[in-house]
A and B are shown apart, each in its own frame.
Chain A
């Protein structure tokens, strides 16, 4: 039972948690109780096997509230991730998915973040908008994703502006034997391989301060790009199995209750955040 909080609400929450965790245990009985997380073992600032990501910390926080310990099913977060982890029952929660991400049931969003520009603070191109004409001339680095019928929003937004030959693609599914593959793009800015990166905020906010040169991290002025129609801000929720609405409701309660702790956690990891707009859980009303 939760120890640090008193009151009826906490007790109810605790009771729900006991129920849910017990149900998970099934046979053979699992003791002590576990908060079972599906996570990528090599993907800071989100998670890694050493438990250094903010999603690791958040899992520990929630587990503590539930009087449980965290256990993991580790898998590189690539195609089939939720199918091979969450859906098999080997774990119960994905700590970060876009709100209303279809393959899973999502909780209410617990943060909203944005794509950013990253450039050298000294002498870098001071770009804040996709419509900045400087983008036609500087060397731009972006993440790209194979040919899975999809690409990152900056890839499309630049392509539709005819900005192509000065764009260098960095594979988000990069060499997984190296730490945190998506961070290679931030390294490229620091090393001067590109002048500016247009990159998902959490990567930039976390890795830019660790580089040997000072980098500027500037949110895009566009929330949705009118030329490409691409969204550049995302609300992030947690994901559970579609037939597990009670767990989603429990997580919704924990998100509400730990709001201040979540905010300070995100800040500590440098995650750029924006005010959450849609605070509704996809699970709401789906008992």
Chain B
């Protein structure tokens, strides 16, 4: 994790990046907001503040052990979804420590009045915090220089209400990104919008797909250089998945890659070199399907995108293939459940690795790919770390797509292992699913050993801290369903607690990506459906579906502090330095999403198959938490 910014002029923070307050004074010798000492007096505060805003490039490059900050990023800001390009969700801030975190207090909170699930995380830029709400996808700017919550402005994007009915798993949004003075985010109805960070006025708006066809967008974009990377959702409606690169200044689509079909559509060219043989060949996005099934092949890109400034590649995963019924689509169904490495400028694929050939469990491969350089067998390896729905955590050489380590992190029985020679899972045929046939005790459930809620990587411990889920499922049975006036038959999925039972449906765990072993774990009653934050203070933060927000020791998982919210947490914590020089922690509450849909949707517990089986997995959640979104901000008293 060295030499990130200075190796790449493309991502060098610029002093004219639009985040410099008019009255600030650059102080090249300032400690870049890391503020190890205690701040006394206004002068020091102002200097630290100014430094925090400016972050001269050289210092920024050296100081960022936890990854590379995009332009505008400083130790005290949080300008991109995972704070760094690498997706580390690690902050070098260390004022909140294992010793003092127990006295953390809520500084302020803001209730959104929206009861759908609040996924994602806020941004902090130039003493302003930005929050994207679930539908109607409002962007709210808070002035952090005033007692909170101090709303500066609210932006309400145009939105097609037809999109509300299309989103599979609650009308969530996973957040915005800051770049070039713009707050850029996706609206459910397939538009990306860019809003002036200062004024709240819309600068551009680009339509990327047609809501009438079932496509929606819920993911948080990533900006790399002058490209905004955006992908769609909607695999459950049989759309054809894509990812696109937009021009950051105009919103114009520069490239779009589909995830099924001929190479020219997938942006596979001469430079494409997948590591494994079963993924090599021409037009594999056609050949690994029968007939024209690839045209309805799903494989959307609704998860997180990360970037490695060193290899200049973006990494992201694709969803399950469509249409659902695996019997109808013999073959590997490339490029579903696949991690892609692409050039963000052109979109051209460099390598790809499919985790679940011919997926029959709905194991989307969209989870984050954390870029890290880790010590392995005496060497430093350039890897991505990917904790998948399918129950395995992969450590993959990011230069070529070779799987170095793939081990189970939760009870998993659909496959015994990943064959590192072929890259393919060694599957248990007794767990294969067919519509109309009952297959019992498949672990993990379709919702996965972990869904999109992102892990954090700590460059000090070289561990990831990841949320996880311990559910299994029965697949099959025949149930009459109804869509658009047509009676049809559904294969019902029932989910239930895995080994350990209802008191252990979730776990927050530390994982060593070099060895593929769990280091510690904290058992939770419900699936952990919220993301993680790691800090240089040795404190890791995460939330639970029943409304706890916890601080634990990075070293051993010991609980150091917790608080309770009215509604459960499915959002991702962030940290920043406020105008008063103090370190703050911010997180959303507001249960929902796929797993939590029972609460805001007020779904009936007498239908365990509702919400794609999630209701059966957490029928008790309604008793333990309430719907309703809020933003919570915490700080240490005094200091």
List B454-507 residues whose CB lies under 8 Å from chain A. 475, 478-493
Contact A75–B165 (Cβ < 8 Å): yes
Of all chain A residues, the one with the shortest Cβ separation from B480 is A98
User: A143–B298 Cα gap in the complex (Å)?
Assistant: 16
Contact A146–B485 (Cβ < 8 Å): no
A265 at the interface (CB under 8 A from B): no
A172 at the interface (CB under 8 A from B): yes
Question: Which one, B94-102, B235-243, B514-522, is touching chain A?
Answer: B235-243
Chain A residues, Cβ within 8 Å of B603: 83
Contact A143–B612 (Cβ < 8 Å): no
**Complex interface bits, A91-107 against B, C-beta within 8 A gives 1, otherwise 0:** 00000111011110000
Chain B count of residues within 8 A CB distance of the other chain? 61
Contact A150–B330 (Cβ < 8 Å): no
**Complex interface bits, B410-448 against A, C-beta within 8 A gives 1, otherwise 0:** 000000000000000000000000111000000000100
User: A160–B327 Cα gap in the complex (Å)?
Assistant: 7
A15 at the interface (CB under 8 A from B): no
Contact A152–B488 (Cβ < 8 Å): yes
Chain A residues, Cβ within 8 Å of B296: 144, 169, 171
Question: Which one, B31-39, B109-117, B208-216, B380-388, is touching chain A?
Answer: B208-216
A181 at the interface (CB under 8 A from B): yes
Contact A181–B484 (Cβ < 8 Å): yes
Given A147-B238, A147-B362, A77 and B482 touching (CB < 8 A)? yes
- A234–chain B nearest beta-carbon distance, Å: 4
Contact B610–A159 (Cβ < 8 Å): no
B322 at the interface (CB under 8 A from A): yes
User: A83–B171 Cα gap in the complex (Å)?
Assistant: 14
B293 at the interface (CB under 8 A from A): yes
Contact A145–B210 (Cβ < 8 Å): no
Chain B residues, Cβ within 8 Å of A43: 484-485
Chain A residues, Cβ within 8 Å of B480: 98, 100-101, 231, 234
Of all chain B residues, the one with the shortest Cβ separation from A143 is B486
Contact A78–B483 (Cβ < 8 Å): yes
Chain A residues, Cβ within 8 Å of B602: 87
Chain A count of residues within 8 A CB distance of the other chain? 63
- B445–chain A nearest beta-carbon distance, Å: 12
Residue from the list B214, B293, B479 in contact with A171, Cβ < 8 A: B214
Chain A residues, Cβ within 8 Å of B610: 103
B292 at the interface (CB under 8 A from A): yes
User: A190–B402 Cα gap in the complex (Å)?
Assistant: 50
Given A78-B165, A149-B493, A172 and B483 touching (CB < 8 A)? yes
- B618–chain A nearest beta-carbon distance, Å: 17
User: A146–B480 Cα gap in the complex (Å)?
Assistant: 16
B378 at the interface (CB under 8 A from A): no
User: A159–B166 Cα gap in the complex (Å)?
Assistant: 27
List A75-131 residues whose CB lies under 8 Å from chain B. 75-81, 83-84, 87, 96-98, 100-103
Contact A165–B291 (Cβ < 8 Å): yes
Chain B residues, Cβ within 8 Å of A81: 165, 482
- B213–chain A nearest beta-carbon distance, Å: 5
B605 at the interface (CB under 8 A from A): no
Contact A164–B290 (Cβ < 8 Å): yes
Contact B327–A173 (Cβ < 8 Å): no
Chain B residues, Cβ within 8 Å of A83: 601, 603
Contact A166–B291 (Cβ < 8 Å): yes
The 3 closest A-B pairs by CB, nearest first: A150-B490, A147-B324, A159-B327
Q: Which residues of B contact A (CB under 8 A)?
A: 162, 165-166, 168, 210, 212-214, 234-239, 290-293, 295-296, 298, 320-325, 327-330, 362, 434-436, 446, 475, 478-493, 601-604, 607, 610, 612-613
What are 25 sample pairs from A and B whose C-beta atoms fall under 8 A apart? A40-B484, A43-B485, A75-B165, A77-B482, A78-B483, A80-B165, A98-B481, A144-B323, A145-B488, A146-B234, A146-B298, A147-B236, A149-B490, A151-B323, A151-B325, A155-B328, A159-B325, A167-B328, A169-B328, A171-B296, A173-B483, A174-B213, A203-B486, A229-B436, A231-B480
Not counting A80-B165, A176-B213, A200-B488, a sample of 17 additional A-B residue pairs whose C-beta atoms are within 8 angstroms of each other reads: A47-B485, A81-B482, A87-B602, A98-B481, A145-B238, A145-B324, A146-B238, A150-B324, A150-B488, A151-B491, A155-B328, A159-B328, A167-B291, A175-B212, A200-B485, A202-B485, A231-B480
